[in-house]
Amino acid sequence: MNHCYNCDSDKVSFEKNTFKCICSDCGAWVANMDDQQDFHLLYSKKYFDGDEYLNYELGKKVHRKNFQKKIKILKPHFSKRDIRILEIGAATGEFLKTAKENGIQQILGVEISDFAREVAIKDGLKVLSPFDPSLEKEIKALSPNLIVAWDVWEHIDCPSLVMKKYLELCSPDVIFAVTTVDSSSSVAVKRQEGWRQFHPPTHINYPTKKSFEIFFSKNHFKLLEHFHFGYVRPLAVYLAAVFGPKKWLKNSSLLFSVPLYLNLFDTQMVIAKRDDKKDN
């Protein structure tokens, strides 16, 4: 019996090629991995400085604009209610800092990277390792009514399983907001393994829009919003895509300070709310 960790369906079959398996129910891709990865080691300082991120530190200011936009999208779903955020994959805490600046004080982050977590803690945020023995207690104490996972789903081995565990600890009226890749997008369908988002081992799971429709329906969540999210990125990142990660780019404060918006319609944002009528 096969389980899909994107749509959370049982008894699915997977069509397998050299690089990936495709779920028969939702069409999500799962990269073929040779060995069990030690995710803890994948996300060292180098990941944020030269590997997956050209220079995370210099790009922070521009990336904050994306977080600001996400908060603007989420806030209307809470009207006058207090927001209590749990962020999965908090990295160095830039989203949580932006949330604080927007008056959201009750926040907690989970981050697997020792390097990123230490930066966040140094900046005064509460960010714990997913292996921290006190994590469950801390989540229950916060009783989050908003759980966010920005561009994290694709990095996790069994994302639907992991997210369900966190959701169980949250408030009954929790809203779950995710941004991740969309392998049913026309760019992904056309480019296949040449798609810029296809890079195992850091990206393992590639859900489709249908993955979330099934996942949320199975888990008694009501979809509130589902659309393709465009990002603002520093000019340096676009230039690196053309010229490669040259030193003159990597360390240029000027080129990292210029924001450019691009929507390739291959990143989905989905917001769903736990349905009050669920029978648990």
List of residues contacting Zn ion (CB under 5 A): 4, 6-7, 23, 25-26, 28
Give me 1's structure tokens: 């019996």
Cα–Cα distance between 156 and 154 in angstroms, integer?
A: 6
Integer Cα distance of 235 and 229 in angstroms: 18
Map residue 15 onto helix, strand or coil: strand
CB 156 → Zn ion: shortest distance, Å? 15
Q: For Zn ion, which is the closer residue by CB, 31 or 249?
A: 31
Least distance to Zn ion, CB of residue 215, Å? 8
Return the number of the residue (20 or 97) whose C-beta is nearest Zn ion.
20
Instruction: List all residues 6 or more positions away from 189 whose beta carbon is below 8 Å from its beta carbon.
Output: 183
| Residue in the structure block whose two tokens are 């990292």 | 256
User: In this complex, which beta carbon is closest to Zn ion, that of residue 142 or of residue 188?
Assistant: 188
Listed residue (95, 151, 99, 139) closest to 270, CA to CA: 151
User: In the complex with Zn ion, which residue's Cβ is closer, 26 or 58?
Assistant: 26
Q: How far is the CB of 214 from Zn ion (least distance, A)?
A: 7
CB of 233 to Zn ion, least distance (A): 30
In our burial notation (b when 16+ CB lie closer than 10 A, e otherwise), range 58-70 reads bbbebbbebbebb
